[in-house]
Structure 1
Amino acid sequence: MKKRIGLIASTTLFASMLLTACSGGNTSSAPASSKAPEAKSAAPVTINWWSWNPDENKAKPFVDKFNASQSEVKVNYKRYEYNDYVKTLKLAMVSGDEVDVFGIQAGAMAKEYTEFSEDLTPYAVKEWGNDWQNRFYDLGLKQLLAGSKTPALPFFNSAAGYLFYNNTLLEKAGLKPPTTYAEWVEYVKVAPSKGINAPFIQGAKDAWQNFDMFIAIANEFAPGKIYEAEAGKAKWTDGDLVKAATTWKDMFQNGIMQNGAYGLSVYPDASDKFAKGETAMIMLGTWHDTRMTKTISANDKKKYGLTTDYEFLAAPFPDLNGDGKPGSLFGGPDVSLAITKESKKKEAAWKFVKWMVSEEAQKMNADVMQIPSIKGIQINDADIGTDRQKANMKQQMKDLENAIGKREFLYPELKTALGDALAMIATGKATPEEGMKNVQTASDKIKK
């Protein structure tokens, strides 16, 4: 299939070159004039940027700022919901639709689209020198590299592994976020009697949140072993990973996972319920820190008709292995920017991508609580609501220094197999041992 796509793309490029060649040029000379004609400023080159993230409201300041900063390039942004984006982008790469810059995720998505992405290494070396990689956090950049090639640059970073909670609700009920697995089980049992009818919510309809939960569990029992299994250096049937799968199963039986979890998406279902105070806790990542800002709080009050300023905070993943330490974060580039290899406007596209990873643009990320992709930019806490939330953000920056690994796997087949296994284990259609055996079978068929 990849060869076929490459052939289509190559044929499209050849046809485009042929048409250009056939059109020729105007070789007639203009009549002499005693007065030189007045120079006209050239119209800006328009490039198209597609992605699922950021949303339109968050993208607009970046697009407006870039467009206003110079007159040579104009950016148009088109945003899709994630599932629609994945389908549309595949078609665009085959049909040659006019997309010049596109967003990708690290892992399977980046691997799949490397052949359609311009190698940005020469651009980066020319712009920032041979040590250009030192500008970026390893957490974001290194997960994108394909050998010596750079298919994309990270726009901002993120990490998962936090339990975000509504501290307003918990304080009113006299409760605290759990720090151990036993406390977590006790919390979901006690909370309803304290007025919190939905203690925790999981959008299990979306496989990515299930992956996040399983990675967090697995890294508690055996830090890093899940990545060894992905690489084929450990078995998915390893006792520690089966233990993680057993804990996942137990969560659907001991009340941590709510009834009907697999019928609920993260966005908008679970996220909206959390924002409205209808549930007190959800597992998300640093991308959810914007919920701590006064701006988002005001928007939520207007959007949902709320009368309370909820205080949202992030708690470390509970200690599951009994070592007295909370779980570690894991993450990487949240969204990265690639230039289409077949784009006819590569220089203009690079000018935009380069600006998006500049100090100016990265400070804009920091202003809206997004973790910058380059070093030396501090999060701006001016819009954070409370002193506890400001302290929480500072702690998150420290937690990131000890992040244990990544969120995204390299192989789509493995993600599908793990997602199916987790669903079967959760619904009782497979035992943890059987589920992990199925994942191992899928893993064995992948050329690594």
Structure 2
Amino acid sequence: MVIAGSALAGCSNADQKPAASADAGSSKSGEAITLTFETSLYAEAPHKKAIDALISKYNQLNPNVKITVHGADYENFWDKLTTEVIAGTQGDIVQVYPENISTYNSLVDGGAFVNLDPYIKGKDLEKKLVGQELSKIGDSYYAISNYAWGNTGIFYRKSLFKKAGIDPDSIKTLEDFKNAAVKLGVDTDGDGKLDQYGFASVVGSHPFVASEWYRLVARPVSGGIFFPDGESGPYKADRINVNSEANVWAAKWWQDFINNPRATPPGTRDKKVGREMFWNGQAAMNMDGPWFIGMTKERDPKLMDDLGLMPQPAIEYNGKTYKPNPHTNPSVAMISKKSKHPEEAWKFLEWMTSEEAQQMIAGSGMIPSNKNYVATDAYKKDNPLAVKFMDYLNNLYAPAVMDPPIPEQGTLSQIIINTAQDIFVGKKDPKASLDEAAAKMKEAFK
């Protein structure tokens, strides 16, 4: 969907910053205003429900403030946002992930988004929001982590595991996971064709064709797809890590795994197809985050009794065991420098961190960002599966590894997506493909 420029038009000084924070309420002049909110999450039913509830409640508190939501599905959102930021037609509020902040801010000279230091630095928000420390460019905040977060685990259908005689607690390593996936791939109706698969992996053009591989296998053993040592700096061409020995091994392992007809369904072009196969009982396992809990409940509440969750498996490589290190994936929000109403945009974003708003966000299935709210007994009682993700993060996973927060990250990400398609869809040689990717990534720094 293309957003009409007139809906987002506005002029501001390039160094514009919001004024001092205020309680939720009418704008200073009492005038009717409209804020536009861009997000890739709105395409998914549980998030749409949560975001609609947030906006409805905020409008009750602020009758003069109208918030309209624009967006696209995850696969198409990012190219669309790039076009809009370059044209200056992005929303007043843009929701992204921390690794996207620097990339999109750098698309225009002087930056496209507002420096939020006056609201966040030295304030309670700086400490109580999960992922807030990731929302910086240099030493300054350009986003607020006010929605929710989640890392990843393996969801499974309890009934299919029971039928196959597999104890989910016995799956500790990547090899255990592979063996279970192969065992779960069966011909259920006796027609000589597989109609149930072990793991609903993405094998298509969707970005997840890359991210499932590197979140589950590559990053734990290599320390980073783009740079070594947990995607740490200095971010220079000579430190590109994509074709390291560990990453090549991981790509070969994953290529063999997804080419096993019992392990994964062929030609699963995007994540939506894989999720549908899981819900329909055609796939026994699905890698996803806490948002999948809300999706499943929205799809069919009866499925919740058959929904199990286990942590990502550890990986044994070159005689050493590596813990999973999926990133925490917080959704963060920025304010456009083109916004006519940056003060009102900030008031809404700040209100989203309140317990009242966080309770609505919990309905999305993701884990709300406010640490104080998530620590309440009421939240834990109402969200037992989501709480498991926190347990995995605290007890079974290594420190999370995030994408590098650098302007070149958009280019690097596209290179790895294209390369993953070559390896996992086109079945090209992993080492040759990753060597080519390394050369392209180094070019991005010239």
Does the C-alpha gap of structure 1 residues 170 and 428 become closer, same or farther in structure 2, counting only changes over 3 Å? same
Aligned-residue sequence identity (percent) comes to 20
Structure 1 position 278, deviation (Å): 2.3
- Counterpart selection for 1:414 from 412, 415, 418: 412
- Counterpart selection for 1:399 from 387, 392, 396: 392
1:241-296 CA distances to partner (integer Å, 9 max, x unpaired)? Answer: 221122122213344653523x52102x11122122221111112322325xxxx5
**CA distance in 2: counterparts of 1:91 and 1:418, whole angstroms:** 21
User: Match for 1:63: what amino acid?
Assistant: I
1:240 aligns with 2:246: yes
Aligned to 1:217: 217
Structure 1 position 141, deviation (Å): 1.9
Does the C-alpha gap of structure 1 residues 317 and 332 become closer, same or farther in structure 2, counting only changes over 3 Å? closer
What TM-score do you get using the length of structure 2 for normalisation?
0.77
Contact 1:216 1:327 in 2 (8 A): no
**CA distance in 2: counterparts of 1:320 and 1:249, whole angstroms:** 16
Q: How many residues were matched structurally?
A: 392
Aligned to 2:255: 249
- Counterpart selection for 2:429 from 413, 431, 436: 431
- Counterpart selection for 2:163 from 148, 172, 184: 172
1:134 aligns with 2:132: no
Aligned to 2:6: none
Contact 1:316 1:327 in 2 (8 A): no
Does the C-alpha gap of structure 1 residues 324 and 282 become closer, same or farther in structure 2, counting only changes over 3 Å? farther
**CA distance in 2: counterparts of 1:445 and 1:419, whole angstroms:** 17
Contact 1:219 1:226 in 2 (8 A): no
User: Match for 2:40: what amino acid?
Assistant: W
Does the C-alpha gap of structure 1 residues 42 and 188 become closer, same or farther in structure 2, counting only changes over 3 Å? closer
Contact 1:204 1:210 in 2 (8 A): no
Contact 1:179 1:319 in 2 (8 A): yes
Contact 2:164 2:184 in 1 (8 A): yes
1:69-109 CA distances to partner (integer Å, 9 max, x unpaired)? Answer: 23353322234223443344334334444721121222145
- Counterpart selection for 2:98 from 97, 106, 118: 106
1:156 aligns with 2:161: no
**CA distance in 2: counterparts of 1:14 and 1:325, whole angstroms:** 53
**CA distance in 1: counterparts of 2:150 and 2:390, whole angstroms:** 10
Alignment of 1:20-31 (within 5 A): none
Q: What is the DSSP-based 3-state SS (H/G/I as helix, E as strand, rest coil) of the residue aligned with 2:372?
A: coil
Q: What is the DSSP-based 3-state SS (H/G/I as helix, E as strand, rest coil) of the residue aligned with 2:140?
A: coil
Contact 1:179 1:326 in 2 (8 A): no
Aligned to 1:300: 299
Contact 1:188 1:255 in 2 (8 A): no
Aligned to 1:37: none
Q: What is the DSSP-based 3-state SS (H/G/I as helix, E as strand, rest coil) of the residue aligned with 2:41?
A: coil
Contact 2:222 2:228 in 1 (8 A): no
Aligned to 2:314: 319
Contact 1:203 1:266 in 2 (8 A): yes
Does the C-alpha gap of structure 1 residues 345 and 228 become closer, same or farther in structure 2, counting only changes over 3 Å? same
Does the C-alpha gap of structure 1 residues 193 and 257 become closer, same or farther in structure 2, counting only changes over 3 Å? closer
Contact 2:149 2:328 in 1 (8 A): yes
What TM-score do you get using the length of structure 1 for normalisation?
0.76
User: Match for 2:39: what amino acid?
Assistant: S
Contact 1:99 1:340 in 2 (8 A): yes
**CA distance in 2: counterparts of 1:112 and 1:190, whole angstroms:** 44
Structure 1 position 131, deviation (Å): 6.2
Aligned to 2:355: 359
Does the C-alpha gap of structure 1 residues 186 and 133 become closer, same or farther in structure 2, counting only changes over 3 Å? same
Aligned to 2:175: 182
**CA distance in 1: counterparts of 2:331 and 2:303, whole angstroms:** 32
Does the C-alpha gap of structure 1 residues 234 and 309 become closer, same or farther in structure 2, counting only changes over 3 Å? closer
1:264 aligns with 2:269: yes
**CA distance in 1: counterparts of 2:10 and 2:56, whole angstroms:** 32
Contact 1:52 1:81 in 2 (8 A): yes
**CA distance in 1: counterparts of 2:329 and 2:278, whole angstroms:** 25
Aligned to 1:289: 293
Structure exhibiting the larger radius of gyration computed from Cα positions: 1
Contact 2:101 2:143 in 1 (8 A): no
Q: What is the DSSP-based 3-state SS (H/G/I as helix, E as strand, rest coil) of the residue aligned with 2:59?
A: helix
- Counterpart selection for 2:63 from 39, 59, 71: 71
Does the C-alpha gap of structure 1 residues 407 and 74 become closer, same or farther in structure 2, counting only changes over 3 Å? same
Which structure 1 segments of 5+ residues have no match? 1-10, 16-40, 385-389
